[in-house]
Structure 1
Amino acid sequence: MKNKTFGLIYLEPDELILQVFERPSMKLITEVRSGTMQVGAHPVANYAHNLVAIVNSLTGFQRVLADYGVEQTKFYGNREDLSPVAARYVADQIEVRTGLKIHWLNTSQLIADTLSRLMTKLPHFDELSKKSLYVLSMGLNTSTLAYFRHGKFQMSWDIDLGGARLSQLVTTLRQTTTNPSEIILDYISSKLEYLVPELRHVKKSRLLIQNVSTLAQSFVPAGEQLGEVPREEFEQRYQSLITATDQYIISHYDVNEQSVNWVLPNYLVAERVIHLLNAKHVYATNISVLDGVTTAASGGQQLISQMIRTSADNLAQRYGADSKHNAFVAALAVKLFDALQPIHRLSQNDRLLLEIASKVDDIGNFINPQAHYRHSAYILEANPLIGLSDKDNHIVAEVARYHSMESPHINQRSNTSLDLESQITVGKLAAILRMADSLDDSRQQKIKQVRLRLHDDELQILAKADDDLVVEQWAFQKKSQLFKAIYGLKPVLITKEED
């Protein structure tokens, strides 16, 4: 008989949580939480310091999982501001001591998971986002502001502000000044300054605040997931918190001795964002990051993939890329990918990465057309796309790097920082993208139909066009060499004009 339970463990900087669900309904059977763990100053994700407590909690969780007969468990961790090296160390120690393998999620992935949950499970979301809805997701180290319209994700902005990190600044300022809140407000405003041009034309917007438990507890009715926060009541509470003592906050809000320090910073950020947006209506939700992780773990990837595509389109537009050329190359690249599936044997996630790389491979032209592929790579490394893991974002950047001239080299530093399997994936995807890109080298989308045919050691590409393909033929001869080297097939372009 197939096991009907599923376990999910989620590690975040201040807490470890176990949930057991019933399948296929994903009804929550039980939830167990660890004691509060002390967050760090630098970084906030102080997992190495809390390792003994983490291992002890996990050992207890394993007994609960055994009691419920859970055979499949997924274990996720919020990497927050932990370095990749430190994350590997912590993961290794956890696996050695418990046998559990953790899958780290970066902030970008967690935000995408949470937004996906809001879009699918929050009542009246389509109505709320019919015109302009902004979602402020507060984190411990950083936060995110996302924009929705007509029920669909439009764009997001990273904000270098988080409750725990700001609370550390507040603590320091209280020792040196009598008005720390005013200084913090100026600091927050400086961090939001880059959004002012982006939001200049915002009118009659709505703001949904997520991951601020004190707001959700006060304004979301029992048994519901959404509640409106009257501006006057928010302002009164905000003003009282500026001068409130920790003891007052603990006695009036359901917070512990550590998270009490995050209450005021969260309200300070929310107040500045409300002011910046001139939000006419403010809402709070009790849907958490953990809820988002649960949705993603149970297969809710479609909306996240669409968010990744939208973010790639936004990045391409920001850097002035040719949208028609991007769309043509992306469509052709995934067509080649699908037709060549028995040969490359890559995954559907790799297909998505190829599509994304096709949309952003030319953004480096914004800096300099000469060696633009290198500029594209480091722009992508500096601007991770929402929903992508660190490794996937790195793969996209490397595929963009090799889409034009350079080929992956065993000693190339950017390539060797990936594991061997990912290096092979980069080569396979770059070879397909390079060939697809060559078929629109004139940037005029002349080809209207493409078919593939394998003949002995040749990959024949039969293309129908509405104009001559002299430029494309020339580019194809150069750019198809990488494909031949990686796949062992000789690409041949056979052209025919449309009737």
Structure 2
Amino acid sequence: MFNRVATIYIASSDIIMKIAEKKEKEVMILEELFYPINLGHDTFSSSAVTFEKIKNLNQAINNFKKIAEEYQVEKIKVFATAALREALNKDYIIYQIKNNNNLNIEIFSNVEEHQLIYQGIRNTNKNLKGDNLFAYIGTGSLGIAVTNQNYIVKSQSITLGSLKINEILKGLQHKTDEFHIVIDGYLSGYIYNLDLFIKKLNINNFYASGKEIELIAKLAGITRKSNNFNISRASFYRLYNDVKSKTPKQLLEKYDLGEVEAETLLPSMTIYKNLMNLTQSSQIIGSTVTIETEVIRNMLFDNRHRELKKQSFKNIIASSRSVAKKYNYNQEHAETIEKIALDIFDALKERFQLSEKERVLLQAAVILHDIGKYMNLKKHYEHSYYLIRNSDIADLNSYDKNIIAHISLNHSQSSTTNLKIKDNTLKNHSDRVLIAKLTAILKIADSLDKSHKEPFSELEINLEENELELIINTEKDIFLEKWAFSNKSRIFKEIFGIDVSLNKKNTLL
């Protein structure tokens, strides 16, 4: 880990550099610099950043790099979100910055961007109780998460932010005196699906983060006393009713705003209004958490990586259970084979160098593998694949979700030669092996509860040099499980290169 670092964040309206160092267990910001450059306007209106702005971007990063070097930082991290993520010419921009400044740019996905914010909100609010709603409005994306206690059980990332809404709809603004109704109508399709889920819960706490919520608090006359600030419904609506009646030019003049702030204020307030109305919260709890500060914390504190990874794994499992419940999964069966699968994994992990991340992917796949039965029992694994690919699962990026979907797709295949890979991005050797390994374990576990009646009370696992022996303790007839095991064990032998046997305690099957 490092003691002094710099981050350069390429945001939609600014480039932000922060230089920070570790001071005991806290982060001390030594320097914070901004360079205004509205990349989001180009990306969200024409899908590409102009030559002139790329030139200015390169120069600004070069200047920031020189300042960071004067501070003798040990590491400079450059990252970007929606403004570059959605630009069609982002690859050329990345190439130019690398060539001109010898710096790599990491472009965060929607999921990664929102994960950073959620981790910051959780860390500054450690005693979360009941159901809570987290929201982060960026200029180009919207992230929403529902937590139960301290675990994220539902999350959604939408490529829709305040500046993006303005760029999409601003051609309509001069045609109506009720532009807020136009924005409400545009948002309704996105809010509807959230409404179905969130209104089933009893959400009393609504946490929000982002530049926009800090601006709203400032305009509402709210002063920050700690990491959070509270905006009551009454204060919010007083400001909203004033903002919705004014044009961006009028807002700019009345509140002394910048041009981008004036253009994005109404869209961001309309999003917050809709989200707040899905909850019973009497206020919006604004958070001062920023992406830059969270990136800095992760760079400076090694133990934080481990803690966040552990928390992220818990979120994945909690969210997977939430998705499975939505599709009326057989919870008892899933929990039975989940324990079996994880016990087998743990017996194999040291010898076959299986990682903790792979364990979590297996666990999520076990929970979700049968959800396709909600749609149709026939070829349910195909439906499971589709539902997993198209579900929002907290803290899972698209690659990991794709792996889980393919494990579920293949849990009915008899051999590695029949392995189905539907996505061309997963056709390299390591992806196929990972899917096959975890599928093999799932298939063995699934076969041991083929009757869905928990046929044994105890499972003993012995890993020998050339064999994995499973010994079960039961008085029940397990004819069906024996038959399923013999059919489903072939892929295990093919991928791990060892035999696998099923024995009844003190009795050879």
Q: 2:178–2:244: 8 Å Cα contact kept in structure 1?
A: no
Match of 1:405 among 394, 400, 413: 413
Q: 2:133–2:145: 8 Å Cα contact kept in structure 1?
A: yes
Determine the structure 1 residue equivalent to 2:116.
113
Q: 1:402–1:430: 8 Å Cα contact kept in structure 2?
A: yes
1:30 corresponds to which letter in structure 2?
A: E
Determine the structure 2 residue equivalent to 1:316.
324
Determine the structure 1 residue equivalent to 2:462.
453
Number of positions where the alignment pairs a residue of Structure 1 with one of Structure 2: 493
* Aligned positions of 1:134-149 closer than 5 A: 134-149=133-148
2:112 corresponds to which letter in structure 1?
A: Q
CA deviations on 1:225-246 (whole Å, 9 max, x unpaired) are 2122132222121111112233
CA deviations on 1:15-68 (whole Å, 9 max, x unpaired) are 343334334635233334443232146657967545444443443343344333
CA deviations on 1:197-243 (whole Å, 9 max, x unpaired) are 43445667332232223124345534622122132222121111112
Determine the structure 2 residue equivalent to 1:104.
107
What is the deviation of 1:489?
0.9
CA deviations on 1:313-368 (whole Å, 9 max, x unpaired) are 11111111111222222232232222212333233222211111111111111122
Match of 1:228 among 211, 214, 230: 230
Q: 1:143–1:160: 8 Å Cα contact kept in structure 2?
A: yes
Cα root mean square deviation, aligned: 3.3
Match of 2:404 among 364, 371, 396: 396
Q: 2:10–2:16: 8 Å Cα contact kept in structure 1?
A: yes
Instruction: State how far apart, in whole Å, the 2-side matches of 1:5 and 1:324 are.
Output: 50
Q: 1:9–1:18: 8 Å Cα contact kept in structure 2?
A: yes
Instruction: State how far apart, in whole Å, the 1-side matches of 2:376 and 2:452 are.
Output: 18
Determine the structure 2 residue equivalent to 1:67.
70
Q: TM-score, normalization: structure 2?
A: 0.85
* Aligned positions of 1:95-494 closer than 5 A: 95-122=98-125, 126=127, 129-158=128-157, 161-200=160-199, 205-211=204-210, 212=212, 213-218=214-219, 221-222=223-224, 224-251=226-253, 253=255, 255-295=257-297, 298-299=304-305, 300-405=308-413, 414-418=422-426, 419-465=428-474, 467-494=476-503
Q: Is 303-312 or 21-30 further displaced after alignment?
A: 21-30
Matched, 1:35 2:36: yes
What is the deviation of 1:163?
0.8
Instruction: State how far apart, in whole Å, the 2-side matches of 1:18 and 1:59 are.
Output: 12
What is the deviation of 1:377?
1.3
Instruction: State how far apart, in whole Å, the 1-side matches of 2:414 and 2:261 are.
Output: 50
Q: 1:335 to 1:92 in 2, by over 3 A?
A: farther
Instruction: State how far apart, in whole Å, the 2-side matches of 1:458 and 1:445 are.
Output: 25
CA deviations on 1:66-122 (whole Å, 9 max, x unpaired) are 333333454443257946997666555544554434443322232233222111113
Percent of residue pairs bearing the same amino acid type: 20
Structure 1 stretches lacking a partner, 5+ long: none
CA deviations on 1:416-436 (whole Å, 9 max, x unpaired) are 422433332222222222222
Match of 1:198, SS state, is: helix
Instruction: State how far apart, in whole Å, the 1-side matches of 2:46 and 2:415 are.
Output: 38
Instruction: State how far apart, in whole Å, the 2-side matches of 1:346 and 1:87 are.
Output: 35
Q: 1:339 to 1:10 in 2, by over 3 A?
A: farther
What is the deviation of 1:415?
4.8
Structure 2 stretches lacking a partner, 5+ long: none
Q: TM-score, normalization: structure 1?
A: 0.86
Q: 1:450–1:462: 8 Å Cα contact kept in structure 2?
A: yes
Q: Is 109-118 or 190-199 further displaced after alignment?
A: 190-199
What is the deviation of 1:276?
3.6
Match of 1:31, SS state, is: strand
Instruction: State how far apart, in whole Å, the 2-side matches of 1:84 and 1:479 are.
Output: 46
Q: 1:146 to 1:204 in 2, by over 3 A?
A: closer
Instruction: State how far apart, in whole Å, the 2-side matches of 1:74 and 1:470 are.
Output: 59
